[in-house]
Amino acid sequence: MQKFKKSLRLQSFLIATKKSGRSIGFVPTMGSLHEGHISLVQKSKSENDVTIVSIYINPSQFNDENDFINYPKSLENDISLLKGIKCDVLFLPNTKEMYKDGFSLIDVDLGNLNLILESKKRPGHFNGVVFIVHKLFKIIEPNKAYFGEKDFQQLLIIKKLAQSHFKKISVIGCPTVRDNGGLAMSSRNQKLTAKQLDFAKKAFNLLKNLKEIIKKNSVKESKIFVNDFFYQYEEITLDYFEIIEESNFSLVNSVIKNKMYRMMIAFKVGDVRLIDNLKLKI
């Protein structure tokens, strides 16, 4: 695996790769890699000649300084995992490199994506994500870029970014990878104690039961069920539970047959905030 810290060096490598007609798949990450990331790298490897992974903890997407400082880091382990699955290139830029021209807002028409759920709860978060992904896409200009569905709102936002600024890049959404207990893989899971992990699993498994409640009863009933569930435990606090219609990312209070919806949840276990989502079709 080749490692690059400077974008100029990486770009020389990319010019040669593109000249030889080889396709490039890109997986941007903030490190602390887990099976979810590995599945993205494997998908990229199966669809491209060369796969590039970036590891960079982007300060501007953290709306809480402590969250940024405490974000899990495991570079040595990440490198050995990537070598183990024969990733071709690792890009490891630093802040001097990524912010040499400062921070700027990237103009993307996000509609509802910019107004509700994570956008509302974490003001400025997606401005930081869009800034850094725009920068990385500009440097790498991959054929395809891979993002997990766990961060569903982020995935849709990156798709919009590509539609308006990088028409040649296909943004591929990949299914959430879960552990045996149903918990979605997340770098933040490492911060949980064994007891907290049990609570997180309980909460995620709740989503599965909700499908039936919504089908048989209503969205309103499902929200009551979720609130009652969280009320039982002091260890977990619900941030939001909402249902969105996938086509326009709008919040809905009722669902009809044949439309695609998603249940979206965010909650805190101790100091750790987790998000998840599940497809819903009636």
Which residues contact ligand PAF by CB under 6 A?
A: 28-30, 58, 61, 129, 132-133, 151, 154
Q: What is the CA radius of gyration of the chain?
A: 19
CA geometry: angle 163, 41, 79, nearest 5 deg? 125
Question: For ligand PAF, which is the closer residue by CB, 151 or 242?
Answer: 151
Residue 37 known to be catalytic: yes
In angstroms, the first-to-last Cα distance of the chain is: 46
* Least distance from ligand PAF to the Cβ atom of residue 101, Å: 17
* Least distance from ligand PAF to the Cβ atom of residue 61, Å: 6
Beta strand pairing status for 261-269 and 272-280?
Answer: antiparallel
* Least distance from ligand PAF to the Cβ atom of residue 156, Å: 13
Question: For ligand PAF, which is the closer residue by CB, 126 or 230?
Answer: 126
- The Cα 140–Cα 44 span in angstroms is 14
* Least distance from ligand PAF to the Cβ atom of residue 58, Å: 4
Nearest residue to 28 via CA among 6, 50, 64, 58: 58
Structure tokens at 108: 């993307």
The one catalytic residue in 34, 37, 125, 134 is 37
Question: For ligand PAF, which is the closer residue by CB, 3 or 195?
Answer: 3
Nearest residue to 177 via CA among 74, 51, 34: 34
Question: For ligand PAF, which is the closer residue by CB, 36 or 206?
Answer: 36
| Burial class (CB within 10 angstroms; exposed 0-12, middle 13-18, buried 19+) of 214 | buried
Kindly list the catalytic residues. 37
